[in-house]
Structure 1
Amino acid sequence: MISPCSPPLEPPIPPARTPASQTIVSPPSLPPNLPNLTLPSPPSSLQAPIPPPPPLPPLPAAMGVAPPLVFGLEKSQLLKEAFEKAGPVPRSRDDVKRLLKLHKDRFRSDLQWILFCADLPSLIQEGPQCGLVALWMAGALLAPHRNISLEGLVQMAVERGYSAQGEMFSVADMGKLAQEALGCHAELLCGGLGGPNRHRVLQHLVTGHPLLIPYDEDFNHEPCQRKGHKAHWAVSAGVLLGVQGVPCLGYVEDLELPGLFHPMPGAANQPPSLPEEGSSGAIYLLSKQGKSWHYQLWDYNQVRDSNLQLTDFSPMRASDGRAYVVPTGGVRAGLCGQFLLLRPQESSH
């Protein structure tokens, strides 16, 4: 099921070529006699091989939390050190409670809050692969037994002509890839997260299904507005709703944070009344993206506005020496105001 603005997301025939509807954005030719910008070699006293660090101790079985998967970990000592300091991947509920305590001034005290969330694995990207990293994380909810690797997703995207090196500038192509690789149902919506799409997005997240959305990424990974120059992808697998009153049926108040409620597992839940569209600061998307293994809470309207202004291909990307696959019509045609609702194939709602 898709919006009228887009053709059906049918699984493609897998040709190993670039579709005619897309363009390879190649790096410009470099002028001759450029200075050598290679960093100088370290002094000989520092060139002795450094022994690898000892393996990380296994996590206690009682925690039930897997460590983050870091793409390129074996190549980077910096990443290894950050990994060792970070510890296990936080669960979504624990990370939300941390954020609520840390930034309590952001959240309206006149509301009660209901958290709908699902746990996602973490994968730190290397290079322009944020969309495929987000899809890989969503796959943990959609197809947990398929064991799809990031490398497999990149290879498939390149073979289908959707990508040159893992980048994804087309929401429609991402939907086709999701259906083929994960065997899930992908619904492409355009026109942004507001208006008639708003209710569908919130119901989708309350049900526990993931949302894939492109946006402009700020320095702290939150949504911003840079006309597409910082285009990035995130996956949302939950929502924090600010409501005037929590329904009596199927919810329990958090023991640590009064005013925060969770749906009771296995119980019938009375749907909450969704905040009105003009109500600011009452809806936060629980999101993850490929540059941090922590969850983030993003104001719904902030994400909506960022997604709606993706119009231009970054000049820095155009001159960074890499090739990119961009659909006809550019970033505006491929990303602006578009996103994907993903759910298991057997789920019709």
Structure 2
Amino acid sequence: MPSARPSLLAPPLSFCKPIRARKFGSLANQSLQAPVPPPPPLPPPPASAAAPPHVFGLEKSQLLREALEKAGPAPGSREDAKRLLKLHKDRFRSDLQWILFCADLPSLIQEGPQCGLVALWMAGTLLVPPSGIPLERLVHMAVEKGYTAQGEMFSVANMGRLAEEALGCQVELLRGGLGGPNKGRVLQHLVSGHPLLIPISYDEDFNHEPCRRKGHKAHWAVSTGVLLGVRGVPSPGYAEDPELPGLFHPVPSMPHQLPSLPEEGSLGAVYLLSKQGKSWHYQLWDYDQVQDSNLQLTDFSPSRAADGQEYVVPAGGVRAGLCGQALLLRPQDSSP
């Protein structure tokens, strides 16, 4: 007979030798009677620091800055002002001589409703040279202090507090508009090379100039220069521009007498050299036009009220927070 094939199954239990538990003292007896409790769970990992609040546009700002840097350096204030004078020469009175006082600012295009913080960042490059305070830090501080929800700034007073806290500069809050006695203070401030932060209504679709929209187009700008129309240029200390006869610049290496400021009501004799977060270039704005625009900031934009976004608006609304107000900023060690 053929031999039986070996089975792949284990032999029946009856053919196996019994296995006896070996005892290792009392511990073995205890282990057979009650299971050893499992080890305690590992402690949870330490909580990580809370992430900073997300603000619309911050993740794009660096990319945008890099793109602008690749496009070439920002035009200087003098060159850009001369470009505007040539482009709109019919707007400037031919019966006056013109003196341009200006300080250079870098440009930064805003993302989202960050116009005020972008304007403060630009001003900061003059107050905390050479590069000011990072925009991300300004936004984080403003959110942390409760001044803003997503970069908007509807309070000139809060903007002044933020400037003091972040830049360590002197801040003077002007109320009652840019006319009357405030006009002389503003012009002296700009002639001295210090920045002015001012809220206006801004029409980016029509002519990129201040307009009257009751605050529906509320926007911030920074002015760091002024173009003054005068009957006569004081001497010495000023040099006529070689390309534009009738335009004069203060000579940095020479002491110069300040010109007589245009009188109140002297139309078309004062222009603010300004920058804001929706343009790469400087703009020359008629002083009276800026003054009128600043005085009619009264209402919150209906489109913003209906967009479902959160905004920080002070008690009393846009009228209480922005209307007729501006900020004069100076380095901490300067005199008014």
The TM-score with structure 2 as length reference comes to 0.79
Q: Secondary structure of the residue that 1:252 maps to in structure 2?
A: strand
Q: Is the 8 A contact 1:71 1:125 kept in 2?
A: no
Instruction: Provide the rounded CA distance (Å) in 2 between the counterparts of 1:146 and 1:87.
Output: 18
2:240 paired residue among 240, 249, 253: 253
Instruction: Provide the rounded CA distance (Å) in 1 between the counterparts of 2:81 and 2:130.
Output: 27
The residue number in structure 2 matching 1:165 is 150
Instruction: Provide the rounded CA distance (Å) in 2 between the counterparts of 1:83 and 1:222.
Output: 25
Q: Following TM superposition, by how much is the alpha carbon of 1:72 offset from its aligned partner in structure 2, in angstroms?
A: 2.1
Structure 2 unmatched ranges of 5 or more: 1-57
2:250 paired residue among 256, 263, 278: 263
The residue number in structure 2 matching 1:130 is 115
1:324 paired residue among 307, 311, 318: 311
The residue number in structure 2 matching 1:72 is 60
State how 1:226-237 maps to structure 2 within 5 Å. 226-237=213-224
State how 1:107-122 maps to structure 2 within 5 Å. 107-122=92-107
The residue number in structure 2 matching 1:7 is none
Q: Following TM superposition, by how much is the alpha carbon of 1:82 offset from its aligned partner in structure 2, in angstroms?
A: 7.6
Q: Is the 8 A contact 1:71 1:123 kept in 2?
A: no
Q: Partner amino acid for 1:98?
A: R
* Residues 254-277 of structure 1: per-residue CA shift (max 9 Å, x gap): 011110000000211111011111
Q: Is the 8 A contact 1:93 1:117 kept in 2?
A: yes
Q: Following TM superposition, by how much is the alpha carbon of 1:222 offset from its aligned partner in structure 2, in angstroms?
A: 1.0
RMSD, aligned α-carbons:
1.9
Percent identical residues = 77
1:244 paired residue among 214, 231, 238: 231
Q: Following TM superposition, by how much is the alpha carbon of 1:88 offset from its aligned partner in structure 2, in angstroms?
A: 2.2
The residue number in structure 1 matching 2:280 is 293
Does residue 312 of the first structure (1) align with residue 270 of the second (2)?
no
Q: Secondary structure of the residue that 2:313 maps to in structure 1?
A: strand
Instruction: Provide the rounded CA distance (Å) in 1 between the counterparts of 2:155 and 2:213.
Output: 18
Q: Secondary structure of the residue that 2:229 maps to in structure 1?
A: strand
1:187 paired residue among 157, 168, 172: 172
The residue number in structure 1 matching 2:21 is none
Task: Describe the shift of the 1:71–1:286 C-alpha distance in structure 2 as closer, same or farther (beyond 3 A).
Answer: farther
Q: Following TM superposition, by how much is the alpha carbon of 1:81 offset from its aligned partner in structure 2, in angstroms?
A: 7.5
Which consecutive aligned stretches of 4+ in structure 1 deviate over 6 angstroms post-superposition? 79-83
Q: Is the 8 A contact 1:138 1:235 kept in 2?
A: yes
The TM-score with structure 1 as length reference comes to 0.77
The residue number in structure 2 matching 1:273 is 260
Q: Secondary structure of the residue that 2:126 maps to in structure 1?
A: helix
* Matched pairs, number: 278
Relative contact order, higher structure (CA 8 A, sep 6+):
1
Q: Following TM superposition, by how much is the alpha carbon of 1:189 offset from its aligned partner in structure 2, in angstroms?
A: 0.6
Task: Describe the shift of the 1:262–1:323 C-alpha distance in structure 2 as closer, same or farther (beyond 3 A).
Answer: same
Instruction: Provide the rounded CA distance (Å) in 2 between the counterparts of 1:71 and 1:266.
Output: 43
Q: Secondary structure of the residue that 1:156 maps to in structure 2?
A: helix
Q: Which has the larger radius of gyration?
A: 2
Q: Following TM superposition, by how much is the alpha carbon of 1:190 offset from its aligned partner in structure 2, in angstroms?
A: 0.5
The residue number in structure 2 matching 1:106 is 91
* Residues 43-88 of structure 1: per-residue CA shift (max 9 Å, x gap): xxxxxxxxxxxxxxxxxxxxxxxxxxx9825667xx988876x532
1:205 paired residue among 175, 181, 190: 190
Structure 1 unmatched ranges of 5 or more: 1-69
